[in-house]
Chains A and B, each alone.
Chain A
């Protein structure tokens, strides 16, 4: 009988070990969500900087009240990308706090749970508009609203004063002020290094469409027209849409009053351009008050109502929603959502950390933003604008982010080439119709 030497036995054992490693990796994709039924509540929040501190205050108050521990993860960078990766590996958090505009994206992936609105404690205290930002086309709720807002226009008041100009009230005023900011050296440094308009014109997360939406509505246009039976047709090949794109493109191509890097800029770069005196007018959300006040331009800008277009002064309204994720700890997650809509949590979100207002406008009717932010009239303005002119994107569509991405790609390409708006919109309209078809809601 031949005995195998020990070295050979080591070899065989190593080979077996390697096979085991391979086998484990091969089986590694099995469902792991069941293994996470215990432990703290995993909460992912799209936020950064001081927002993290503000959310922590809300979570601490929740833990103090319920004893439920929270393990938060917060980032602004590629948030949805990270969430997709987590979904692919079946490692979703229990709760996600993100834009209301992501509702369809999450629902079509099957990663969020429907919410029984009537079973949510305190649901009757929330505004109907806020609840509307948490439901899909079929009327089913898929989130609990947490915060709302509408965009306003920030303008450098010191530049206006130097050039003896008034804050803009119409599109024409915007064009005039933007031209003056670009050509008349408002910062007085003797260099032509300023620009009138600050536009996050990148296609990332659909920013350029996000920005342009207000112009579309202000011109009297819309993305879609209902065709009955829950079906829709794209509505961008209209004179109103063409007019809004023409005006938008003129600022880039004819008047050249937009920061030159705009078409590659996200809000991170656009914020920086406004904060560092490169641009003089920035159309953004009221959350920017805190961000801007933390920089050198504090006190050097004013917030004004969105300048009206040919049809009206409607402006982009948005919300932040609380999503209960598939496979998560549902009952604890629901408790957190119920806490986050209480007056106590809404107030904490507004004022606990002065440099971060994670609740911009409260969704809870019993809380008033203007009262909470006593002495800061900008919040009164934000509230008025939201109530009178706030216009949500078509976030109830089966997957709005896909439609917004397509619009962004089309707009970005058009403006980059300074092309013909009517032709580009016609192509874009066809593209949107084909996406509506894949989403099962196309007319005809």
Chain B
């Protein structure tokens, strides 16, 4: 620090913000750069594995991609094809239905579980861990497991149980009428515990005095839930909803393992359609165009959710 010669005897204050202009400029540069330095490893990682592939994908969506024959410029053709593709339209319908039902379902179940299991007691902690297990299990393993349990014959594990209750054998994943609903149930089973943990974190943060005051005022359990718990959880709900929407729109693994999009295309979603366009039909350009549209839709939906919640918060 040979440059900083004190101009006045006021150096007794630690972290003096004064000094000559050059030193101030260096400090300013440093304070502006420091956060980026800490972020650099993560940014470099994301740049290589996320941002660059995204940019490259958007670029490829304007081509008929032929790695060994040379790419062919198509302009907007892949995009206009996407808007006219009846299979993709059906897949969008399935995806939206799946996202809405599974996000709402897992939020409701997760919230109910959080209310039931929010307690520091040891036995509740054990129960909470048990309930949380599906959230940490790999989706492929879960899908394989449920695929076996839901064998559609009379002697499938779940159907045997239903039989004991006097219900007939259900086709589950084998019928186009029930396949998507079955997938949604499995998704809720996996995602609800995840939502539960976030809700529990939110519940813990609620000021206990509010409940005590409400008790004194004679509020019942329902009123406490309606007027204290739910309003206090608004920010948390935003997080759960946003994560849910993103998760819902890019649903792939469970469907690819459980049904491969079938039967009769009844569980085909945007990402399974994209995957097939890229790997079965070898049409990387078209797959990239669908991915680009999905990216735009995800950004728009997420922004819309945040804007809506912010407006609600403000009011």
Contact = CB atoms under 8 A, between A and B. Distances in A.
B134 interface: no
B264 A413 contact: yes
Contacts, number: 138
Interface stretch (B103-111, B122-130, B170-178, B198-206): B170-178
Interface in B133-156: 151-155
Contact of B68 (A29, A109, A263, A414): A109
Interface stretch (A14-22, A133-141, A330-338, A361-369): A14-22
B47 A87 contact: no
Contacts of B30: 5, 7-8, 11
Interface string A180-220: 00000000000111010000011110000000000000000
A264 B262 contact: yes
Interface in B73-126: none
Given A11-B37, A90-B67, A109-B66, A5 B1 contact: yes
Contacts of B248: none
Nearest to A269: B147
B176 A417 contact: yes
Q: Which residue among B37, B151, B264 has the maximum number of chain A CB atoms within 10 Å of its CB?
A: B264
A3 B259 contact: no
A416 B68 contact: no
Interface in B250-300: 258-266, 278-282, 284
Given A264-B258, A412-B262, A412-B264, A3 B2 contact: yes
A254 to B, nearest CB: 16
A440 interface: no
A326 interface: yes
The interface residues of chain A, by DSSP majority, are classed as helix
B44 interface: yes
A420 interface: no
A326 B260 contact: no
26 contacts: A5-B26, A7-B30, A11-B30, A14-B40, A21-B47, A22-B52, A80-B279, A84-B278, A87-B67, A87-B68, A109-B67, A109-B282, A110-B66, A191-B154, A195-B153, A202-B260, A263-B263, A264-B173, A264-B258, A402-B281, A413-B176, A414-B264, A416-B175, A416-B262, A416-B263, A416-B266
Given A22-B52, A260-B151, A416-B262, 17 more contacts: A3-B2, A5-B26, A7-B30, A11-B37, A15-B33, A18-B43, A21-B48, A80-B279, A109-B66, A202-B262, A203-B262, A263-B174, A263-B263, A264-B174, A326-B68, A327-B68, A415-B264
Closest 10 CB pairs of A and B: A416-B264, A413-B264, A263-B263, A416-B263, A260-B152, A110-B69, A110-B68, A81-B279, A193-B155, A11-B33
